[in-house]
Amino acid sequence: MRDGSNAEESWLAAAINALLALLGTCLLARGVWLGFIVDENAMAMTYLGAGLLFLFAATLDRFKALKGMGVELQMREFDQKIGQADAILAQLKRLAELSGASLLELAAGTGRWDGAPSPLASYELSRSVKGMLESLGSTSLVVRRALVPWARSACIDAIGPVVGQYAEAVFRHYWEMHRRFVAAFSDADPNDPDQQAAKEAARQRVDEVLSYCRPVRDRGVADWSLESTPSRLRELVDSAPAFVPKDALDELRQQANLWGPELEYLARELDFRDKESWFAKLAATRIG
C-alpha cells in the first residue's frame, strides 16, 4: 500500500515538473519573440524572468537531491572526525592520568630513603608510556627517546655496583701496596743509588695502580651510554692490568658474562629479557 502511494506521489511530482517546464519554455519563447521581433523589451524581460522561474521550479527537486547528497557526505566525514577526536581525547586523558599518578608518586617519595619507585613499578610505568605513545602514533624514534632514560637508569642501578665493587677491590690492593712501600723504604738511605732506584721503581708500580683504579672508582659507569655499556664492561675485563687481584677480576668477568646479553637486549629493545632476574638484581642493589 505504501509502495503504491509513493509511486502515485512520484507520478504526480513528475507531471507537475513537466507542466512547469512546459510553461517555462513557452514563457521563454514568448519573451524572446517580444524582445527580438516586436521590440517590446520591458514586456520581454517580464516573460523571460517568469520563464526562468518556472524552469527553476521544475528542476528544484534535483537541486534538493544534490544538496542532500553533499550534506550527507559532509556529515559522514564529520562523524569520522568526531570519532577520531574522541579516540585521541581518550588517549590524552589516559596520558594525563598516568603523568599525574607518576608525579604524585615521585613527589610523595622525595627525601625518603625508599622514595624511588620500585623496579616493578618503574618497569610497568615504562610499558604504559610506550603503549600510550605508540597508540598516539608516535614514531619509533620518539618512543625510544622517551624510554632511554628509564633503561639507562636501570642499567646504572644494576651494573654500577658491580663496577664499584671491582674498583674498591683494586683500591684496597693499592692501599696494601702503598703500606708495603712505606714499610719497605721508610729507612732507605737517600745517598744509596741502588736503594733510591728500587724505591722509585716501587713508587711507579704503586702510582700505576692508583692511576688505574681512581677513575674507575670515581666515575664508575656514570659516563657510559646505554648502547656502550655492554662493550665497555667487557673492555674493563679484557684490558685489566696484571696487578688487578685475581678474585676481583674473576668476579667482574662472571658478572660481565652473566649480564652482557641482558644489557645488549636492553640497549636494543628497551625492555628486560629476563624480567625476574632484573627485578631481583635491582631490588638487591637498592637494599644493599
Pick from 69, 93, 119: which residue ends a domain? 69
Do 198 and 264 fall within a single domain? yes
CA within 13 Å, CB half, 219? 10
**Domain count across the chain:** 2
For the chain, percent of residues with pLDDT exceeding 90: 29
**pLDDT above 50 (res 104):** no
Do 194 and 272 fall within a single domain? yes
Do 145 and 64 fall within a single domain? no
- Residue 44 confidence class, pLDDT cut points 50, 70, 90: low
Please give the C-alpha separations between residue 184 and each of 43, 172, 211, in angstroms, as whole numbers: 134, 18, 21
Greater confidence, 226 or 62? 226
The per-residue pLDDT for 110 is: 46
**pLDDT above 90 (res 263):** yes
List, for residues 15-29, the tens digit of each pLDDT value: 666 666 676 677 667
Do 34 and 133 fall within a single domain? no
Taking the CB of residue 129, how many other CB atoms lie within 10 A of it?
18
**pLDDT above 60 (res 178):** yes
Which residues span the domain enclosing 147?
127-287
User: How far is 58 from 132, CA to CA, in rounded Å?
Assistant: 57
Tell me the average pLDDT across 241-247: 92
**pLDDT above 90 (res 246):** yes
- Residue 54 confidence class, pLDDT cut points 50, 70, 90: low
Do 177 and 243 fall within a single domain? yes
The per-residue pLDDT for 67 is: 52
Do 198 and 266 fall within a single domain? yes
Do 266 and 177 fall within a single domain? yes
Do 29 and 161 fall within a single domain? no
**pLDDT above 90 (res 70):** no
- Residue 90 confidence class, pLDDT cut points 50, 70, 90: confident
Q: Say if 226 falls within a structural domain.
A: yes
The per-residue pLDDT for 164 is: 92
The per-residue pLDDT for 107 is: 44
Do 194 and 267 fall within a single domain? yes
Q: Say if 144 falls within a structural domain.
A: yes
Q: Say if 117 falls within a structural domain.
A: no
Do 138 and 254 fall within a single domain? yes
Q: Say if 82 falls within a structural domain.
A: no
Do 280 and 160 fall within a single domain? yes
Mean pLDDT of the chain: 77
Q: Which of 243, 277, 236, 244 is nearest to 259 (CA)?
A: 277
